[in-house]
Structures are given as C-alpha cells and as structure tokens.
Structure 1
Amino acid sequence: MTKSNKVSFHNRRNFERIFFLLILPVLLFGCNFPTTKNKLLQDRSQSLEAYATPFVKVQFTVSLPAPLSDGETLTIVILDEVTGLPNNRQAYEMSKVDPLSYTTALSIPMQSVVKYRYEKIGTENMPETNPNGGHVRYRMFYVEGNTEHNDEIFSWEDDKKDFEVGRFEGVVLDQNTGLPIPDILINIGGITRFTDANGLFVFANLPAGTHNTVFYAIDGKYKVHQQGAEIATGKTTPANIKLNQNTAVEITFLVSPPDDAMGAPVYIAGNLVQFGNTFSDLLGSMSIETSRMPLLEQQADGTLRKTMSLYSGTDLRFKFTLGDGYWNTEQKNEGGNFTRQLIVPNQNITLELQIESWRSSVFEPISFSTFINPGVGYAGERYIQFKINDWTEPLRMWPIGNGDYLYILYSPFEMASPITYRVCLDTACNSPSASQLISQEEQVEQSDQPLSRSISVDSWLTELTKESYPDIYRIPFPYKSQDYKTIIELSPRIRPSESALISIGIEEIKQLNANTVILTPQWFQNGAEDLLHPEIGKTPFYFELYSYINAVKENGFTVGLYPQMDLLASDGDAFNFSHQNKSWQQSWFDSYRQFVLNYAKLAEITNTEYLFVGDKNLLASLPDQNAYNADQLEDQWLSLISDIRSEYGGKLVWAANAGAEMDPLPEFIDAFDEIYVSMDSPLSEGNSASFNQIAYGFTRNLDNFLYEVYRSTLKPVTLAFAYPSVDGAVQGCQLLNNDCNNDGLFVKEEVSDQTLNLFEQAEIYNAIFPTAASREWITGISIRGYIPGGTSDDPTSSIAGKPAKDVIQHWFSGLN
C-alpha cells in the first residue's frame, strides 16, 4: 500500500479480514444508574453476572445555596470517567422537598464507587462550583448498603457565593505497617487531591459544615474509606486515616472479538490507573491516557487474552477498545457504547467475555491512511487526533510497513457535526512547540457508506529539514574534571499525561551529551488564601515521578530533583509573603515544608544525587529579608534544613536567581552543599547585540556580581541559563519587565507575542559559553526549560529542535 492508494470497500467485511490478516505480523498482536423504578442494566456476559453484587437503595438529598428560579430544575448526573466525563452521562431529575432541598433515590450495586455532580437546568445546564471557584469535576460516594446521603451545593457558575471556611488536613497510613501511603485520592466537597510521599494532605478553604469524604486508592490496593468531616470556621480539622489493604488477585480477561478488525490491537480502558485512568481532565475532558492501557494478547484460536493483577473489592469499570475510552470502543449490536462493571472477587478468576461489535448501528467505518517518511520526526508511533467540539487525546495509528499507516474509525458517529481530524508525529498533538509535526485539519461527514481519506503532508515525504547553527565559535575546550556537570533541566510544564515526552527527552539529551538531568515537578497555590498542594493532572503522582527518575538513571544520567512552585495561577499579584500576618506566614511555611520533605523522601528512595531547594518567591521568607518575623522564620528554616538532612543523604543545593543583580543568599547558606544560579541577566542595553557585545555583557555580569557568590561561600557553583528564542532575548529578564522579577524561565504565555528569533538564542549561547567554561570556580552549566520533541517555531526557553541545540551539543561534548 503506497501513499497514493485509497481503500476500496466494495466488500467491506472481506476487505477488513484480508487487510488485518496482512498487517497482523506488523501489529502488536455500560453502566446506567436509574431511579428506583429501574435497575442498572447488567452486563450481558454470564461470566460477569456471576460476580455481580446486589442492588441497594441510596437516597441522595442535597441542600442548595438559594432557591431555584421559575422554570429551573435540579439533576444529579452520574459520570463515566472511562468514556470521558462529557459522555455517557446519566442525569436524573430530583424532587423538591422544600425550596432549599431536593432528593432522589437510585438503585446501585453494592461496593460501587459512584462519581457524580449536580447541575441546575434552565435555559442552559449550569454546573455547581467548588469552594475554589472552579467547576466540580465530580463528587464521590462509596455504596456500602441501603443508606441516605446528604450533600451541600456551595454555589453555581452563574451565582458564586462567599462562605465561612476552615481547613482539613491529615495523614493516610497503612493499617498493618503504619507506613504513609502516597497517591491516595481524597474527595471532599467536590475537590479532589492526593496524598504525597509522606501520606500527607491539606485542603485550605473548605466551607464550614459536614462534608462526605472519600479516601480512594487509584490502583485499588486499599479498601475505600468514607467518613464525614466536620469543618469549623477558622479552624483546622485533623484526620489520621488508616487504610486496610485489599487482597491481591489475578483476573484473566479471555475475549472473543467480532469478525472485523481482526489483528488490530485491542486494549482495555478502565477507571484504575493500570487501565490508563489519569483521574484528570485531558484533551476534550477525557481521562484515559492511551499509552497506559493494557494490550490484549492475540491467541492462536483468534481469542484475546490478558491477565491483570488487581485487588479484591475494587469497583472496576472497563471496556474493550481499538482507540481510547470514547473512540472505537466496543458497541452493542443494536448500537450504543457501554461500560462494564466488575466488583473484583476475593479469588483468581477468568472472565470469558464477548465483544459484540465495533460498529455504529447506523453509519459505516471511515478509513484514514497516510505516508510518513521514516526519517521524519522521531522513531516510534504515529497518531491520529479527532475533534468534535474540542480536540481529544491522540490515538495510535496502525503501521503497515515502509512508512504507511492506517486507522479505521468504527464509532461513535452519533454526533451531529462533522468529525475534524489530523495526524501527529508524536503524542504532543496540541503542543505549541510541535506544529511542524502536525498535519492540516480536515473534516469528514459520517455516512451510511464506507469512506476513505488519504492524508498527505509534503514535508513528511522526505526527511524533515532542521534549522542548524553553522557559526559556532570554536576554541580549545578547557580541561574539566569528571565531576563537571553538563545539565539539561526539563520544563516544569511537562504534564503527567505527556509521559511519552520523558522517553523522547532521554534520547534527545543523550545526543546533546549532557551528563545530568533535572526533573521539575510542581505544586500549586490557587488564591491568596490557599496553600501549596499537588494538583491532579499537573503534579506527577508519586509512582509516576518514581518511574521517571528510574528511567533517567537507567540511561546513565545523574539525576537532580528541583521541585517548583506555581503560586497563585489564578491571581498572580496576590502573593506577597512579607505583607501577610504571622499566622498566615506560619501556615504557608508549613505547606512549603510538606512540599520539600515530600520530594526529599522520594529523592532518598530513588537515590537521586541532587535535591534543589529555593525559589525567587521565597526571598521574602528568608529571615534577613523579613524583619517583621525574622526570628520565627530563622527557626523554621533551620528546622526544615535539619529535617531534610534527616530524610535525604544526597547533595543539597540552594537555587538562586541572577537578574539585573544577584538575589541575596540566605544566612544559612553554609547548610547547603552547592549553589545553582539561574541567570537571565541583561546582556546588552539595547534589544539586539553582536557576538562581542553579548560576550562582554556576560563577562561583566559574571565578574561584577556572580563571582561574589563563589568568593563569599567557596561552594561549587552551577550556572543555569534559559534565554528564549525571540527578538530582544539579549535583554534577559528586562524583556518582560524592568523590575527583573522573572524566575529565570521564559514560558509560552510570557513570550508568545514576541517575534521569533532562533539565531539570537543560539548566538547568546555561542557568546557566553567560552567565558562560562573558562572559569574554574564554575563547576557546571545547565540549560533550563527543555521541552522534548520541540520544533523551531517555539519561542520559549527550550532549545529542543532549534539552532541553539547545536551550540549546546558542541560545548557539552567538549566539556565531558
């Protein structure tokens, strides 16, 4: 099959059988919650029915912040995280008890974990909002028997309220071992967070009152724990939670597929992390990361098989798919997708299941084919991406050899609008730094006849031309010891769902000849009254970061862990530590302590060589910078450093910034082993400069205030750079503002309106490296903000896919 061929469907069934038999050697081998008038439709498989739990009645009653308006109704919406929260929703109108109270009863299988939310229906659907002002993604409720359950709605999107608040914090421990449990979801009041490496959690701003709280293991390892939490105004409610482990069992899925799409890879999408669930909103509000779904193995008799290690008592929701939880999932013969349910039994079992169909009951399949030269982009999988209202997660295309790829879409086709699609060379389909790796958008209408679409991108027919930098200033490399560090610091904007970028990054960083990689997980603070916390979908789970560190180590790199803070993403000017009262400063510092000690523990467990502490935002918390609270802060810092040292045995590094001038070092700098200076100092008084002017400006900054860092401490100093690829990059921090209060990184939203200038970024590194490498007191050089898989139309600090990469590669090769 060549790029000019189009698929003919004169006999659709015979074609598919022949096609998939040909590609087989190349390829790797619903739930509804009704009211009590109805019951959940049982899975049609007798194998699953044998393990079904009995239905029980749950009476949901909810209190409103204000009476509904005339013509408005209230619904409870049962959500399906496997299919995606916007899809396969089951909404039930609630009955009025009084103007501020509504109720309804649902029949639900025992041991189910229900994910739901409330919506006000009027001229449009109005979602409830959580205490932080965002939409409630879902509430959780664990069904243990016939019961009454009460909720309180805080506010609506169109009528947000203020309320008295308190705090909820605590620790989650293993009942048997007493050890802390990381990655436990805690759902309270429509907000979901997860425990850190020390089992700790905190919710800073919960409305006063009693809230149902669910503690949930993302892999099912621990029994679900549910209790009420009484939140008092201005008070902290502590919780010491001990969870019992469930019994580990093996569940074998033995699946009979339909007689079309034979040989295509079939996966299991599910609501647990081992079935691809991220518990966060990905593209299109989907939740499944396709690269983590388990692949069913083809058997000689045509059946499919997969054995999974699961835990008894777990509420498993799952479906079989050729795509993800929404696209190309198993269908009923009469039409419609569904999600299966299994309450995992306390024994090893084999489930014999039948996939009825992949097809829509109304429309015929659409075939997408493309040719991509093997020399284009990165070796690996190619993806197709679909859009209805929004782009959804990319799906793996099926390779058929020699650069040809195919994907056949069977369902769903129930949407009213045409399907928009495009092909991507890697999973970063929506990355602003990867436009060269994405085809043009096209549309196709659903039809009752089979359709085929051939996608052609001229630049993909031959190897992709990359910008290079031919004028590298070449001088003899100074001798460096084997301890000299050549570092790539990954961007903190890499999300957990983009885990494929870690693998891509490892290969790229090898080519750069760096010897050290720094990972930069983030915690967040949303609003002046909030505290630092990990955020699902943005902060890697413990198990994810653990695997990233090990993957980097296995490829021969030294590893550093530099935890980053994203303060007040929704209110960037509100954080002013020195202007807050002592009580707030104490609370905030306690959350910072939790943040640092979380990563200190992980760094010790993974034998990570370097742990970085410090941030430009921390300056006001240093004792010598905060006369208002100096004594208390000094005690806090010294205690924190002592605790870090008790937890972590590697090198402790203080991270500082050098903009228009060097940020002050703390009085306790002697407690650190090394210093990491992120330098975005202006290199020229104008918005452009020659090689010699840049070199002079850098040397001036180095000698005028950076050398003093070494002279005053006699500690090893690493210089870190992150100049962007835009016009005026030589201005450094003054590119953004004259106050130079940047944190050393230039991210997309800060430079997206600037004019791209790849060669200015390259010239900066070309001019500063000879001087930086010549100073013996500098023991390492780091390039910050690296975004793997990037291309040359990205204006940020990342050097990936840009001419500056050639300069870095040249110097890193010579300095190692």
Structure 2
Amino acid sequence: MRFKVSIFLTLSVLVLSALISGCGTSLFSSKPVEYQKAEVLFEATSPSALQEGQKLQIEFLDDVTGLAFNPLRFDMIQKGERTFYYKTTLTLHSNVKYRYIKGGQNVTVELNPGGEQIRFRLLNIDDPITVSDSIAAWPEEPFSGETGTIAGQFYDKANNTPLPNLLVTAQGIQAITASDGSFRLQGVNAGTHLITVMALDGSYKDFQQQAVVAGNAITPVYVGLEKRPLVNVTFEAILPEGLAPSTELRIASNMYSLGNLYSDVYAGSTILSADLPVMQKLANGTYSLTLALPAGAYFNYKYSLGDGFWNSELTSGSTFEVREFIVPDSNTIQKDTIRAFQAPNSGLVTFNVTVPASTPVEDIVTIQFNPFDWLAPIPMARVDATHWTFVLYNPQGY
C-alpha cells in the first residue's frame, strides 16, 4: 500500500509501506432498532443463457462505506433458461441499492444498453413487492435491441415549484433533476421498468411506479412530491475504551446534505471526511450531535474516526458496521454504543508528520492511502504548530 501526507494545497509527501487490506466482501452489520420487514422478490432476466460454471448473483451495495468496498452478494435461483429469482425480506420504508453480477471464474457486473457499468439500481420498500428486472448487457455481450427515453419533471406538490437534485433511476440508468426539476433517462431498453425517485437529502417523500418504454419514443413522467417536515434527532455515542482523549468523531451517512456526494470521487469512495459532521465531546466522555432530519426518511449511518471506509466503526468482529434508522415524526434521542474501531488481533499504525514552521496556521494536513488506487484524503490531528498525527485503526491486515 502507498500513503500520502499533504498539507492542503501546500505540501505533498509520498511514502511506500505494506499493503493494507480488508476491502473484501463482508455482511452488513446488525441494526440498533428492529423495524418491520416486507417480503421482496427479485426476478431478473439475463440477455442470454449463462455458461456452465457461471451463476447469477444479486449484489446489495453500501454507499456509506463505499459502493466498491462492502457488497453483500447472494446467489439467485434459476427459474428458466434466462430467468432467475431471489426472495428476501427488507426493512419497510428503506431505500435499497443493488445490481446484478455474473459469477464464476471471472466476476462481471451488468451493463446498461449504452455499455456502461451499472452503478446501482434503486428500490423503495414501501410494501411487499415483486421486482422484474431485465439485464441489458454484459461486458462480453453488448446490448441488442431498441431503446427509448423516460423524461419529465418533478415539482413540489403543495406549491408547484420545481425540485432539483432528485435522483431518478430506471434499469440502473440514473439522472439528477435540473434546477427546473426536469430529468431525462436516455437509452432505456424497450419494455416495462420501475422508475424510482429519491431526494438526496431525504427532504421529499420517495416516488416509485412502473413505466412502459417504447423503442425510439419518450415516456413522459410529471409528478408532484410531498415535502417532509424536519425533526431534531440527537445522536449520542459511547466510544470503546482506550481511544485518545482528543479523538474527533464523525457521522458518515447516506445523506447528500451530510457529506455523501453520490458520485465516485475517489476510486469508489463517495464520502469526504472533511465534509462529515463532527460530534461534540461531552463532560461525561460521550459524544453528541443534533441533526435536523426529514421525518420518515431512511437514514443509513456509521460513526467514524476517518471517513466511511478508513477508521469507521466495526462490529465486535472485523466487519463494517452500518446502522439504519427511520426518522420518526417527532424529536428524539438515538443512543448508540460503538463496539470497535480496531479488528481483533490487529495493531495500530501511527503516522507522525513534521511540517515546516512557515506552514500557514489555517492549512490542514491530510493523509491519503492507496491500497489499489488513491482514496479520499483524511484530516490529521494537529499536535502543535509543526506536528500532526494520525492513528490508523482499520482496515488493515498483517
């Protein structure tokens, strides 16, 4: 692994070290509250029959840790020559990000009709549901067929004002609504697809319905959405023993307004540590932060000493912790106990950096790691005017 220490816009130092691992597949962790579940049946049609030794899998994605870092994969059951299904139960009123992969000697991710890899499909779980998806193409099997367009506008149901910054998806093709609330999903293969819409900050209720797409035609969608009221949620967290008294604790989440950029800015990472809200340390040693969140919104989150990947909380084992919380209709306090930042039988790596005395006091020193590509920079802790430090708890392998 390589790592890089930098003073933002000022200084850059590159050093070689041992490979830090831990990016492999692991299960999403237990949840602080048990919410009601709904039965969900995923049906998928491959463009052609799979070869001997291949299998179709559904991959659930975690955009808090990072879409590339913490997938949850399940084998689908073959129903016909090209059709497969997978049945599960998922949390009511949750938003699920998923896609299809073809496993075997080589794992490949589904492509859209234009030949681009599907970043994720989006599904809102408001009731028990059967989802019928068509896989357009694989890397070795380009799309063949007609495509159409889904286009339209979303607006506030109460006052008809346009709604920008909504995520609109169908068949894994994505668009963000413009300032006038308009969107356009091009290159959707002809057929019936589920169109799913979500406000990136949860401020409006989700929308989901089927849309029939005809070849070389436009399917119009014009819909008013209902705004969610804000409530105050106070998160209180107890840290594991043995951490430094000056530890700075952050919350990483699936909310755009709280630092999730919804784009792969650093090799699959969607979160910048510097953008995450920082919790306040109280006199009793606990940490607290009050957030104004939309009532009814689905809030995935974790506590971190870095970002969603580096130094994020772990279960009592060594898997990433990902919490889920459905925002209630009234102000509330959510109390959490962080079980671990350090995996069992692993040590710590401490990076100490000395910077020039002439370094401007307003500069921030960050550190970057490169297990396979450069990931997002993480702020280091200031010791004094010329010294900075960072302790790496996870993920790491020895």
| TM-score of the superposed pair, with normalisation by structure 2 | 0.90
Does residue 271 (structure 1) correspond to residue 254 (structure 2)? The answer is yes
Q: In the TM superposition, what whole-angstrom CA distance separates every residue of 1:730-751 from its partner, at most 9, and x where no partner exists?
A: xxxxxxxxxxxxxxxxxxxxxx
Q: Which residue of 2 aligns with 1:407?
A: 390
Aligned equivalent of 1:92, options 69, 74, 77: 74
Structure 1 residue identity aligned to 2:345: V
The share of aligned pairs that are identical, in percent, is 28
Aligned equivalent of 1:367, options 350, 358, 372: 350
- Matched residue count: 372
Take 2:102 and 2:360, find their aligned partners in 1: how far apart are those partners? 47
Take 2:288 and 2:268, find their aligned partners in 1: how far apart are those partners? 30
Asked if the contact 1:60/1:149 (under 8 Å) is kept, the reply is: yes
Larger relative CO (CA 8 A, sep 6+): 1 or 2? 2
Take 2:194 and 2:327, find their aligned partners in 1: how far apart are those partners? 24
- Report the secondary structure of 2:267's partner residue: helix
Deviation at 1:360, TM superposition (A): 1.4
Deviation at 1:406, TM superposition (A): 0.2
Asked if the contact 1:274/1:294 (under 8 Å) is kept, the reply is: no
Aligned equivalent of 1:213, options 195, 201, 214: 195
Q: Which residue of 2 aligns with 1:489?
A: none
Take 2:124 and 2:312, find their aligned partners in 1: how far apart are those partners? 27
Does residue 231 (structure 1) correspond to residue 217 (structure 2)? The answer is no
Mapping of 1:648-727 within 5 angstroms? none
After TM superposition, which residue ranges in structure 1, 4 or more long, deviate above 4 angstroms? none
Q: In the TM superposition, what whole-angstrom CA distance separates every residue of 1:486-539 from its partner, at most 9, and x where no partner exists?
A: xxxxxxxxxxxxxxxxxxxxxxxxxxxxxxxxxxxxxxxxxxxxxxxxxxxxxx
**73 and 401 in structure 1: CA distance in 2 versus 1, 3 angstrom threshold:** same
Q: Which residue of 2 aligns with 1:153?
A: 135
Unaligned runs of 5+ residues in structure 2 are 1-25
Q: Which residue of 2 aligns with 1:64?
A: 46
Asked if the contact 1:53/1:111 (under 8 Å) is kept, the reply is: no
Asked if the contact 2:307/2:378 (under 8 Å) is kept, the reply is: yes
Does residue 204 (structure 1) correspond to residue 194 (structure 2)? The answer is no
Deviation at 1:163, TM superposition (A): 2.0
Take 2:101 and 2:321, find their aligned partners in 1: how far apart are those partners? 23
- Report the secondary structure of 1:274's partner residue: helix
Mapping of 1:290-301 within 5 angstroms? 290-301=273-284
Asked if the contact 2:30/2:321 (under 8 Å) is kept, the reply is: no
Answer 1 or 2: which has greater helix percent.
1
Asked if the contact 1:63/1:151 (under 8 Å) is kept, the reply is: yes
CA RMSD of aligned residues (A): 1.5
Take 1:112 and 1:374, find their aligned partners in 2: how far apart are those partners? 50
Asked if the contact 2:44/2:84 (under 8 Å) is kept, the reply is: yes
Does residue 105 (structure 1) correspond to residue 87 (structure 2)? The answer is yes
Take 2:294 and 2:226, find their aligned partners in 1: how far apart are those partners? 12
Deviation at 1:286, TM superposition (A): 0.7
Does residue 353 (structure 1) correspond to residue 336 (structure 2)? The answer is yes
Asked if the contact 2:98/2:122 (under 8 Å) is kept, the reply is: yes
Take 2:338 and 2:257, find their aligned partners in 1: how far apart are those partners? 21
Take 1:318 and 1:86, find their aligned partners in 2: how far apart are those partners? 17
Q: In the TM superposition, what whole-angstrom CA distance separates every residue of 1:393-448 from its partner, at most 9, and x where no partner exists?
A: 1100111112100000011124xxxxxxxxxxxxxxxxxxxxxxxxxxxxxxx3xx
Deviation at 1:374, TM superposition (A): 4.3
- Report the secondary structure of 1:81's partner residue: coil
Asked if the contact 1:274/1:292 (under 8 Å) is kept, the reply is: no
Q: Which residue of 2 aligns with 1:222?
A: 204
Take 1:413 and 1:42, find their aligned partners in 2: how far apart are those partners? 22
Does residue 284 (structure 1) correspond to residue 239 (structure 2)? The answer is no
Q: Which residue of 2 aligns with 1:803?
A: none
Deviation at 1:223, TM superposition (A): 0.6
Q: Which residue of 1 aligns with 2:235?
A: 253
Q: Which residue of 1 aligns with 2:116?
A: 134
Asked if the contact 2:272/2:377 (under 8 Å) is kept, the reply is: no
Mapping of 1:537-552 within 5 angstroms? none
Mapping of 1:367-446 within 5 angstroms? 367-376=350-359, 379-414=362-397, 446=398
Take 1:157 and 1:218, find their aligned partners in 2: how far apart are those partners? 30
Deviation at 1:221, TM superposition (A): 0.5
Asked if the contact 2:67/2:268 (under 8 Å) is kept, the reply is: yes
Deviation at 1:185, TM superposition (A): 0.6
Asked if the contact 2:113/2:142 (under 8 Å) is kept, the reply is: no
Q: Which residue of 2 aligns with 1:324?
A: 307
Unaligned runs of 5+ residues in structure 1 are 1-30, 34-40, 415-445, 447-816
Answer 1 or 2: which has greater strand percent.
2
Asked if the contact 2:62/2:71 (under 8 Å) is kept, the reply is: yes
Deviation at 1:183, TM superposition (A): 0.4
Take 1:330 and 1:399, find their aligned partners in 2: how far apart are those partners? 22
Asked if the contact 2:311/2:341 (under 8 Å) is kept, the reply is: yes
Asked if the contact 2:39/2:89 (under 8 Å) is kept, the reply is: yes
Deviation at 1:291, TM superposition (A): 2.1
**32 and 228 in structure 1: CA distance in 2 versus 1, 3 angstrom threshold:** farther
Aligned equivalent of 1:166, options 124, 141, 148: 148
**405 and 177 in structure 1: CA distance in 2 versus 1, 3 angstrom threshold:** same
Deviation at 1:68, TM superposition (A): 0.5
Structure 2 residue identity aligned to 1:216: M
Asked if the contact 1:274/1:293 (under 8 Å) is kept, the reply is: no
Asked if the contact 2:112/2:171 (under 8 Å) is kept, the reply is: yes
Structure 1 residue identity aligned to 2:153: V
Take 2:238 and 2:268, find their aligned partners in 1: how far apart are those partners? 30
Take 1:328 and 1:230, find their aligned partners in 2: how far apart are those partners? 45
- Report the secondary structure of 1:281's partner residue: coil
Does residue 55 (structure 1) correspond to residue 17 (structure 2)? The answer is no
Deviation at 1:284, TM superposition (A): 2.1
Q: Which residue of 2 aligns with 1:312?
A: 295
Deviation at 1:275, TM superposition (A): 2.5
